[in-house]
Amino acid sequence: MRIIFFGTPGFAANNLQFLIESGYDIVAVVTATDSRKGRGKQLKATAVKKLALENNISVLQPENLKDATFIRELKSYTADLYVVVAFRMLPEIVWKIPEKGSINLHTSLLPNYRGAAPINRVLINGENKTGITTFFIDQQIDSGAIIMQEEVELSKQTTAAQLHNILMEKGSVLLHNTVHAIERNLLSQKVQNHDTTMQEAPKLTKELLKIDWTQSADDIHNLVRGLSPYLDANSLLKDVAICPSAWFTLQDENRKDKRIKLQLTKIESTTKTNRLAIDTDNKSYFTITLGDKALSILNLQAEGKNPMSIAQFLQGNKLNENFKIL
């Protein structure tokens, strides 16, 4: 079975690698155009393009998915199936081409959390489970018939970076199993429920990243971990699209503002009653009172600095009662 793979970031490249290693005939990949990144603004290829070139797979990088030349080139590969992972919405003129259809891998248990940011939104909303879904593409975003799904349990400490990697690994296996079933005509399909009460996963906005201190400690903690790049205490996922980090302003005694990204927190009990009161020994802990609970900051990134533990931050920043949380 001949396959064309559509995808752009590392998440998609990991899935593509699994399909290649499984022996599938990937005749071409479609990915985003090269972008200028870094200080030198040099052109950088996408993760999917790099992997394709390493494996001598043809690469297509259309700016317009409806372009007639691109459509002709797609058809020339006579692919049986299109596989889409972390790519933009395909127009009908594209997804209808292959005989066996076009499938997508989505990082939620559809029909819940359709949209651009399911990994983040399930954590921000404090869900206790999520999952991965393969489905056939149709006219609407993430609404086609479900092929396969797998659930993933979530803890109250799971971060966006951790969930990204969990779903990337589980998604590779689920995608392989889905393609295998399609190849052998062994799959069953389930039409999605289009209930309007289903949770959505709209893209992240700049407004969302700014911490609203009128919210509860639990809600703020969920926002922090839902945007956190931390895989563990010492390693981070360097993907700002998935892990942009929540932030707030810390104002010192001289009324000078410092932007702080919160990246790991935990909930603690407190006896303090003054909301937004700062509690610290200026050595090992820094908590912020939020009603009957406190938010303990474990890891952060101060403006212009690298990510660090709270102990590292307090070595160079001595706080007192005149500091304010904004």
pLDDT at 40: 67
pLDDT at 285: 96
Phi, psi (deg, nearest 5) at residue 159: -100, 165
CATH class of the domain at 2-183? alpha beta
Distance (Å, whole) CA 160 – CA 246: 12
Report the DSSP pairing between strands 25-30 and 102-106: unpaired
Distance (Å, whole) CA 30 – CA 33: 9
Q: What are the extents of the domains in the chain?
A: 2-183, 206-325
pLDDT at 37: 73
- Work out the mean pLDDT of the chain and round it to a whole number: 95
Q: Which CATH superfamily is domain 206-325 in?
A: Formyl transferase, C-terminal domain (3.10.25.10)
- Which pLDDT tens digit goes with each residue over 271-300? 888 999 999 999 999 999 999 999 999 999
- Report the share of the chain in percent with pLDDT over 90: 90
Tell me if the pTM is above 0.85: yes
Strands (E), 155-269: 246-251, 257-269
Distance (Å, whole) CA 49 – CA 59: 7
* Residue 258, C-beta contacts closer than 8 angstroms, at least 6 positions apart: 249, 250, 251, 252, 302, 303
Task: Identify the H or E element spanning 10.
Answer: helix 10-21
Distance (Å, whole) CA 244 – CA 236: 12
Q: Cα–Cα distances in Å, from 70 out to 77, 91, 199?
A: 11, 12, 35
- Which pLDDT tens digit goes with each residue over 94-124? 999 999 999 999 999 999 999 999 999 999 9
Low-confidence ranges of the chain (pLDDT < 50): none
Task: Identify the H or E element spanning 202.
Answer: none
Unique residue bearing structure tokens 């969930």: 163
CB 189 within 8 A of CB 148: no
Task: Identify the H or E element spanning 102.
Answer: strand 102-106
